[in-house]
A = this chain, B = another copy of it.
Amino acid sequence: MHQVERWSVFEWSGKGKTAGNPFTDYEIFGLFRGPAGEKKVSGFYDGDGVYRVRFMPETEGEYTFEIFGSFSDEIQKGAFVCTPAAEGNHGPVRARGFHFEYDDGTAYYPLGTTCYVWNLQKEELRNATLAELKKGYFNKIRFCVWPKHYLYNLHEPVTYPYEGTPVKLNWVNDGGYPPMGNLPGNHWDFTRFNPQHFRGVEKCIAQLGEIGVEADLIVMHPYDRWGFSCMTKEQDDLYWKYVLARFSAYRNVWWSLANEYDLLREKTVADWERFGKLIVENDPYGHLRSIHNCTVVYDHSRPWITHCSIQRTDTYKTTELVDQYRVRYGKPVIMDEICYEGDIDQGWGNISGQELVRRYWEAALRGGYATHGETFVGHDDILWWSHGGALHGESPARIRFLGEILKQTPGAGLRILENRSWDEVAACSDGVMGDGGYYLYYYGLNRPSSRLFRKNPGEKFHVEVIDTWNMTVEDRGVQEGTFRIALPGREYMAIRLRRV
């Protein structure tokens, strides 16, 4: 029997009707019966008379399926066996309390980056991006389904999501923000998708999956000259259903409803809520769902939202607010835009590697997560933040180092230590460990020459001094009761105590 690895994509494909508009005039469904019951999923039209249905089996064992719907007068039947997950395949990521884990229970600590349209660049550049990602700096990447029209992003993408012809951009680039929205001169048929465009996105999702990187897919965004952000309610819903039918079976997909949702001026909260409902109804696997803001943080307490995806709303205060957001929303917090490492004009993309890494540690120590981006000019107009390519900054290696430290957390992740000194950020292991045996103290911009610890007499701790910038962990042996730890008087130092 055909074998499908657990949490991998099973795909059925076959010919169907083509009269009229196959994207809108016909339906196709798959009904899958397996060891844990049955699931009905939607398929999609992929052009050239071909229809496809995708399914991700979540339980090992035998499956049967039927493919049916108005696309064909016949019902197709089949079967396959779901085999155990291979090494490195842990299933989709789930929210658990204030943290994340894979479906097989392995802890997942988001260390994200942002390359908005790396997937719409030429193959050579896409491969360069993948080569950087293989170095293991990040385990999540945010990118867009739609092409991007923005500062540094004025060229044509390799494909468009619809049949039609784009506006010719007729604008003198003075370095300011270009005009946006549905510029006059676009000719699109919003009822006919361009399958090649979506196949490109899928290929990227799959390639990321192979190297263990989650695809935080931005389904809508306002950086637009083609009118994709200004479609009607019916056109939006058609788009969402197509996206959900095509991408849901990839285990590493996350749904980011929008980047800067509040800049999509023609959408209302009712629209976003409707999209949230559409995802819940049409993604049978319950992938993570979030929505990212510009100036107005969304109400992340909404039940369909699995975790907070927040852009900082202040130039200076960023991940310092993670613990407040945890309290406010009771969900995992990812600060998905906190200013990028770089040197561009705009204040959202020109901090140092040191400051970005500091913000990452601050997020981690407050029990949340941060996201990287890089915006250096002077590299043939290729900016990692948008196009991918080569990394030029100093933060990625340090982010990977933080990841190594985080993976050593016992229990269910970190949370801010309530009874810490007022002059430090300190975390303990969350969940089962409570305030007991695992402490991280981080000093950020402060540069203590030593720190005094007052623990209970007789309590012994293994002490390590961590240089978060130089990426070293120095063993300071076992200490007991009240003890002082010397530090080098530099910024970005941390101390770890583990009870022995």
Contact = CB atoms under 8 A, between A and B. Distances in A.
A449 B320 contact: no
B452 A377 contact: no
Contacts of A317: 316-317, 320
Given A352-B445, A482-B174, A484-B175, A450 B345 contact: yes
Contacts of A450: 175, 345
B351 A174 contact: no
A73 interface: no
A347 interface: yes
A452 B347 contact: no
A350 interface: yes
B447 A315 contact: no
Contacts of A454: 176
A484 B176 CA distance: 10
A202 interface: no
A344 interface: yes
Q: What is the count of identical protomers in the complex?
A: 2
A424 interface: yes
Contact of A315 (B355, B422, B451, B452): B422
A355 B347 CA distance: 18
A452 B176 contact: yes
A187 to B, nearest CB: 33
The winner among A339, A344, A350, A444 for most chain B CB atoms within 10 A is A350
A423 interface: yes
Contact of A452 (B174, B320, B424, B448): B174
A344 B448 CA distance: 5
A443 interface: yes
Contacts of A491: 352
A449 B317 CA distance: 22
A23 to B, nearest CB: 40
What are the 10 A-B residue pairs with the smallest beta carbon separation, nearest first? A347-B423, A343-B489, A343-B449, A350-B447, A350-B446, A316-B320, A347-B446, A350-B448, A345-B448, A175-B452
Interface of A: 174-176, 295, 314-317, 320, 339, 342-348, 350-352, 355, 362, 377-378, 421-425, 443-452, 454, 482, 484, 489, 491
